Amino acid sequence: MSADPRRVLDAVWRMEGARIVAGVAKATGDVVLAEDVAQEAVVEALSSWREHGVPANPGAWLTAVAKRRAVDAWRRRSALDDRHRAMAHDLSEATEDAWEPIDDDVLRLVFTACHPALSRESQVALTLRVVGGLTTSEIARMLLVPVPTVQARITRAKKTLHAAKVPFETPDPPEWPARLQTVLSVVYLVFTEGYAATSGDRWVRTDLAEEALRLGRIIVALLPREPDAWALLALMELQASRFGARTDAVGEPVLLADQDRSRWDRAQIERGRAALARADAVGHGRGSYALQAAIAEQHATARDFADTDWDEIVVLYEALGRISPSPVVELNHAVALSMAVGPGTALAMVDRLAAQGALRGSHLIPSVRGELLAKLGRADEARAELSAAAALTGNEREAGVLRAKAAALGG
């Protein structure tokens, strides 16, 4: 195969981009400069490789060029004080030999990209860009926003890091747990953005979720003693294992109860279960991600919908509701309760939620209430609820399903 330099460059950037930026950031103490010069190295690589062919060690080549560019940048700004002079000397020693980036540098990069001074949008864009090694156009395609929007987010992120004088380091022990949670929530946001997408090309959205999985795998490899990192990976693996069955041949969504379980990815389920077992082994009790993963595991290991261990799922939701209470968790808890105990008990729980004014304006409560009322044989009330839910949902497909259910109740 005569390799197309452009495609090789894209591949190498995905593989090594994070390490290149991290290595230069470590040498210069400046992530923003590191990202800039790494991009310059990419541009230079394209013309050089087209002319001279792809070098034997493309990652080392890019690093060496990026470091040279960093020194040039200091020179241009006449910023070569003694400290920079010493660095410039070290950097000029950079060769194209094999180089071993230090994992800690990549970890610093992850924490920098998810720094709390940045907006959530900026954290996501910067993480995909510098840790995931994605191009701006790839990110734009996956997030369904125009390229200039992604560029603006990354530029703003760099300016913010600069203004906040964010150091290139991992957080101190007292800050560690909160900062790690931020990193994990950014990764999970990327995943759910792809997983729960109601718009866009299905394959593209799966790509985004898979990028999040890759980030999750990187994080557990760097932080193998962090139970929450393993638990998040487990949750994503288990949820992604159902991708193949979530839509039918014509792209219509298929509910969990109706999914063809033979299309679930067994190898991925096993990876998810192994990750959850790791989380349990290194942790002291399950947190929110681990409980959600355990619920997903119950579904993944049930032979069919009827065979699901609903009692166990109810217990898991109960624990999840105490650790991270939310109306959506509560509602799912009610659905599990209706399967385990019966619709009457579940309805009382949903009515309590509705009385609190939770999820007002959303179709979620009326659609669940409608289902439960139908099971209890209260057809008129059920029809009214399902129709109300259909009017509230913004998703036309879902509205159609709800209207069909209402119509099926006669009347």
Partner 1 sequence: MPKYMLIMRNSDSVENYEDMDFEAIINAMGAYNESMMKAGVLLGGDGLTDAAQGSVVEFTAEAPIVTDGPYGEVHELFNGFWTIQVGSQEEAVEWAKKAPLGPGNKIEVRRMTDESDFADYSDNEYIQKEKGWREELGTE
Residue among 256, 231, 230, 257 nearest 243 (CA): 256
Span interacting with partner 1, options 84-92, 119-127, 242-250, 358-366, rule CB under 8 A: 242-250
Residues in the chain: 411
Nearer to partner 1, 252 or 380 (CB): 252
Residue whose tokens read 């619709």: 343
Provide the minimum distance between the beta carbon of 73 and partner 1 in the complex, in angstroms, as a whole number. Answer: 28
Alpha helices in 164-244 (DSSP H): 176-195, 202-222, 227-240
Distance, CA of 302 to CA of 242 (rounded, Å): 13
Least gap, CB of 43 to partner 1 (angstroms): 19
Question: Residue 72 or 104: which CB sits closer to partner 1?
Answer: 104
Among 40, 44, 96, 207, interactor with partner 1 by CB under 8 A = 207
User: CA–CA separation, 184 vs 236, rounded Å?
Assistant: 11
Nearest in space to 281 (alpha carbons), one of 205, 212, 225, 331 = 225
Angle, helices 202-222/136-143, rounded to nearest 10 degrees = 120
Taking CB under 8 A as the criterion, the residue among 46, 86, 196, 221 binding partner 1 is 221
* Residue of 21, 218, 275, 392 interacting with partner 1 (CB under 8 A): 218
Check residue 140 for interaction with partner 1 (CB under 8 A). no
Given a contact cutoff of 8 angstroms between Cβ atoms, the answer to whether 273 and 297 are in contact is yes
Helix/strand/coil percent split, the chain, to 5: 75, 0, 25
List Cα–Cα distances, 15 to 184, 213, 214, in angstroms: 21, 15, 11
Give the integer Cα–Cα distance in Å for 353 and 358. Answer: 6
381 touches partner 1 (CB under 8 A): no
217 binds partner 1 per the rule CB under 8 A:
yes
Residue 244 to residue 260: CA distance in whole angstroms: 9
Q: Which stretch binds partner 1 (CB under 8 A): 202-210, 279-287, 339-347, 361-369?
A: 202-210
Among 40, 44, 103, 121, binds partner 1 (CB under 8 A): 103
Region 47-76 residues binding partner 1, contact defined as CB under 8 A: 58
Count of residues engaged in binding partner 1, rule: CB under 8 A: 40
From candidates 25, 150, 213, 293, binder to partner 1 by CB under 8 A:
213
Q: CA 33 to CA 46: how far, in whole Å?
A: 20
Site for partner 1 in 247-276 (CB under 8 A): 248-250, 254-255, 257-258, 260, 263, 267, 271
309 binds partner 1 (CB under 8 A): no
Judged by CB under 8 A, the stretch of 32-40, 147-155, 244-252, 318-326 that binds partner 1 is 244-252
| Least distance CB 19 / partner 1 (angstroms) | 9
> Binding to partner 1 by residue 8, rule CB under 8 A?
yes
Tokens of 35: 């990202």
Quickly tell me which residue has 């701006």 as its tokens: 136
Distance CA 255, CA 406 (A): 17
Nearer to partner 1, 58 or 227 (CB): 58
211, 226, 280, 385: residue in contact with partner 1 (rule CB under 8 A): 211
Contacts of 20 (CB under 8 A, 6+ apart): 38, 41, 59, 62, 63, 66, 101
Binder of partner 1 out of 87, 205, 216, 264 (CB under 8 A): 216
In the bound complex, what is the minimum distance in angstroms from residue 71's beta carbon to partner 1? 28
Could you list the residues that contact partner 1 (CB under 8 A)? Answer: 1, 3-4, 7-8, 10-12, 14-15, 58, 103, 106, 203, 206-207, 210-211, 213-218, 221-222, 244, 248-250, 254-255, 257-258, 260, 263, 267, 271, 305, 408
